């Protein structure tokens, strides 16, 4: 199999702010994997928080290209040969392999995985901002989405007011994501107030590895979902001690195979499962959309945050990100 990779800059429709950063664009890397007359595609969304970039992903892919062999069905063997770093780049290879296998078998990837096409509705993410600004954004999306996710962690004493302001303008189910920016004291103060406002769950209130995780799980009136604390299968057991659910992202897990193992491990430990994303094109979101029916909660809006999605194909139907019916991922670079 022959691998080709290139860099793509994605422009966001508006600045996207979370606790640790603000973003106007995202650099991703797309790959093409050729096997005979067929081509499989995938996208890497490198995570800066973990020292990755488009440059480091491209360097990894150059090295990985020599290790792929010629059998796209040898998914486990290929993963075993790939060096265990740059998970976003590995996820792009994994996506391209699944795309190829689906095309070879003439079935969409969700069928290849034994899953249903439609998962739960995706949330729409509202970036961190003033309470009024967040409420206005919530109002604007009222008809289009069935769940909202609010970014919190402003460290300005206004996080509960942000949720209250949004709650005033919508009855939609709300989730919040703190991206590691609360202390234990803040979490214990804010979470009961958010529970009274009907918030469903809270993503990553404490910094990853915080020693009070188990105490917060015991005392929190809201389910805690772990994102920055949970990357791969080996992290899931420890997450059962400090949370009620895990957030799977392909850019952290290195692809669909590890993601589905994580979901199974989470179930065995009594944990809920959410699938999330980075700022990605439709090509990056597609593999996650194909596995969404294995999850309880879905946050796959990365391509919808873009000014223009260079890889259309996913359909937003009644708030659900539906993967195409075509063989493979059904989404390709334009
Ligand atoms: Mg998160």
Residue 107 CA, ligand 1 centroid: distance in Å: 31
**What is the per-residue pLDDT across 187-219, written as a single tens digit (0 to 9) for each?**
999 999 999 999 999 999 999 999 999 999 999
Distance 287 CA to ligand 1 centre (A): 18
The mean per-residue pLDDT over the stretch 262-269 comes to 98
pLDDT tens per residue across span 92-133: 999 999 999 999 999 999 999 999 999 999 999 999 999 999
How many CA within 13 A on the CB side of residue 109?
31
C-alpha 228 – ligand 1 centre gap (Å): 7
d(CA 38, CA 69): 15
Whose CA is closest to 27, among 63, 51, 57?
57
CA of 320 to the centre of ligand 1 (A): 19
Burial of residue 36 (CB within 10 Å: 0-12, 13-18, 19+) is exposed
Cα–ligand 1 centroid distance for 148 (angstroms): 13
Query: 189 CA to middle of ligand 1, Å?
Result: 20
C-alpha 302 to ligand 1 mean position (Å): 12
Q: How many Å lie between the centroid of ligand 1 and the Cα of residue 105?
A: 34
* Whole-number average pLDDT of the chain: 97
| Residue 41 contacts residue 109 (beta carbons within 8 Å) | no
Q: What is the pLDDT of residue 42?
A: 98
CA of 103 to the centre of ligand 1 (A): 32
Note the pLDDT of residue 128: 97
Average pLDDT over residues 77-81: 97
pTM over 0.75? The answer is yes
Q: How far is the CA of 45 from the centre of ligand 1 (A)?
A: 15
- CA of 246 from ligand 1 middle (Å) equals 10
- The Å distance, Cα 226 to ligand 1 centre, comes to 8
- pLDDT-derived band at 244, boundaries 50, 70, 90: very high
Distance 39 CA to ligand 1 centre (A): 32
Confidence grade of residue 57 (pLDDT, cut at 50, 70, 90)? very high
Residue 265 binned pLDDT confidence (cut-offs 50, 70, 90): very high
- What is the CA(11)–ligand 1 centre distance, in A? 20
Q: How many A from CA of 72 to the centre of ligand 1?
A: 32
* 3-state helix vs strand vs coil in the chain, percent to 5: 40, 25, 35
pLDDT at 334 over 90: no
Is 143 a residue whose pLDDT tops 90? Answer: no
**How close is the Cα of 278 to the center of ligand 1, in Å?**
9
Dump strand ranges (E) for the chain. Answer: 2-17, 22-35, 38-44, 123-126, 147-151, 174-177, 199-203, 224-226, 245-248, 272-275, 297-298, 315-317, 320-322
Report whether pLDDT(4) > 90: yes
């Amino acid at each position: 199999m022959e691998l080709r990779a290139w860099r793509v800059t994605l422009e966001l429709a508006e600045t996207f702010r979370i606790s640790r950063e603000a973003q106007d664009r995202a650099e991703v890397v797309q790959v093409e994997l050729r096997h005979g007359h067929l081509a499989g595609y995938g996208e890497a969304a490198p995570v800066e928080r973990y020292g990755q970039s488009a440059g480091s992903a491209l360097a990894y892919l150059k090295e990985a290209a020599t290790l792929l062999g010629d059998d796209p069905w040898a998914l486990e063997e290929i993963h075993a040969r790939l060096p265990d770093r740059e998970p976003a780049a590995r996820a792009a290879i994994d996506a391209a392999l699944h795309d190829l296998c689906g095309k070879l078998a003439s079935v969409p990837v969700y069928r290849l995985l034994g899953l249903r096409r439609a998962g739960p509705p995706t949330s729409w993410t509202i970036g961190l901002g003033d309470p009024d600004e967040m409420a206005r954004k919530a109002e604007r999306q009222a008809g289009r989405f069935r769940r909202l996710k609010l970014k919190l962690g402003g460290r300005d004493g206004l996080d509960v007011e942000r949720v209250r302001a949004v709650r005033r303008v919508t009855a939609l189910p709300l989730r919040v994501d703190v991206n590691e920016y609360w202390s234990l004291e803040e979490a214990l103060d804010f979470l009961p107030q958010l529970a009274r406002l009907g918030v469903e769950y809270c993503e990553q209130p404490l910094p990853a590895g915080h020693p009070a995780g188990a105490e917060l799980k015991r005392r929190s009136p809201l389910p805690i979902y772990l994102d920055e604390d949970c990357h791969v299968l080996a992290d899931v057991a420890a997450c059962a001690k400090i949370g009620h659910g895990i957030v799977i992202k392909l850019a952290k897990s290195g692809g669909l195979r590890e993601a589905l193992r994580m979901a199974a491990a989470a179930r065995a430990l009594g944990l809920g499962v959410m699938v999330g994303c980075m700022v990605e094109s439709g090509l990056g979101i597609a593999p996650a959309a194909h596995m969404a029916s294995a999850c309880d909660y879905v946050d796959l809006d990365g391509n919808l945050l873009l000014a223009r999605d260079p890889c259309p194909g996913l359909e937003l139907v009644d708030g659900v990100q539906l993967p195409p019916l075509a063989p493979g991922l059904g989404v390709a670079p334009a």
